[in-house]
Amino acid sequence: MKAQLSKMYRRTSASAQAGAMLIEVLISVLLFALGIVALVGLQARSFSTTDDMQYRTEAIHLANAYMGQIWASGLQGSALEVFQTKGEQWGDFRDRVVGLNGFQGIPGGQPPIVTVTDTTITDTPAGGTAPVTMPIADITITISWLDRDGITKHNYVQTSSIGY
């Protein structure tokens, strides 16, 4: 009887091991597939980030160029209003951002917002002489665009002060 129990035990042990290799292979294939899916997700995110950086760089370039026009104009005070949103000079800038009238623009670009605020600064020079008051224009340029999904909004805001 001992011999029979010993044979049964061996058969049971051998039959229990029969599918283990198949399960190991299936788990390996599953892990490999998850790795591939993760790599595809990373690649898609990489494309999105690359697009965002390209559009952000274009927004920086356009804002710097427009700010340069404002500085070079030599205008002061309320005369700078021509550069604000819907001012005379703003139309060409809008076309460059949005992509109208032959300009490429930023994909998904929204009309930019430009604000000019007149302020004054009073400062006393180091020599202790009388205070000096200087007019300043604070200029804020906001460029916005939508991501490829048409939902996610990105902004670039540049603020500068021009003393005259």
Closest CA to 98 of 109, 88, 83: 109
Take residue 29 and report the two structure tokens written for it: 């294939």
User: Is the pLDDT confidence value at 23 over 80?
Assistant: yes
Alpha-carbon span 78 to 118, nearest angstrom: 8
Please give the tally of structural domains in the chain: 1
Alpha-carbon span 13 to 17, nearest angstrom: 7
Q: Are the beta carbons of 55 and 104 closer than 8 angstroms?
A: no
Q: Give the pLDDT score at 142.
A: 95
Torsion of CA 108, 49, 66, 119, to 10 degrees: 100
Write out the residue range of the structural domain in which residue 126 sits: 2-163
Termini Cα distance of the chain: 111
Name the pLDDT band for 13 (thresholds 50, 70, 90): low
Q: Give the pLDDT score at 7.
A: 56
Coil vs helix vs strand at 147: coil
Beta bridge partners, 160, equal: 139
Q: Which helix (H) or strand (E) holds 155?
A: strand 153-163
Take residue 77 and report the two structure tokens written for it: 């005070």
pLDDT tens, 113-138?
Answer: 998 888 777 777 777 677 877 788 88
Q: Which residue has the higher pLDDT, 21 or 8?
A: 21
pLDDT mean over 141-146: 93
User: Is the pLDDT confidence value at 72 over 80?
Assistant: yes
Coil vs helix vs strand at 128: coil
Alpha-carbon span 126 to 132, nearest angstrom: 11
Angle between helices 20-73 and 90-98 (to 10 degrees): 160
pLDDT mean over 42-58: 87
Q: Give the pLDDT score at 147.
A: 84
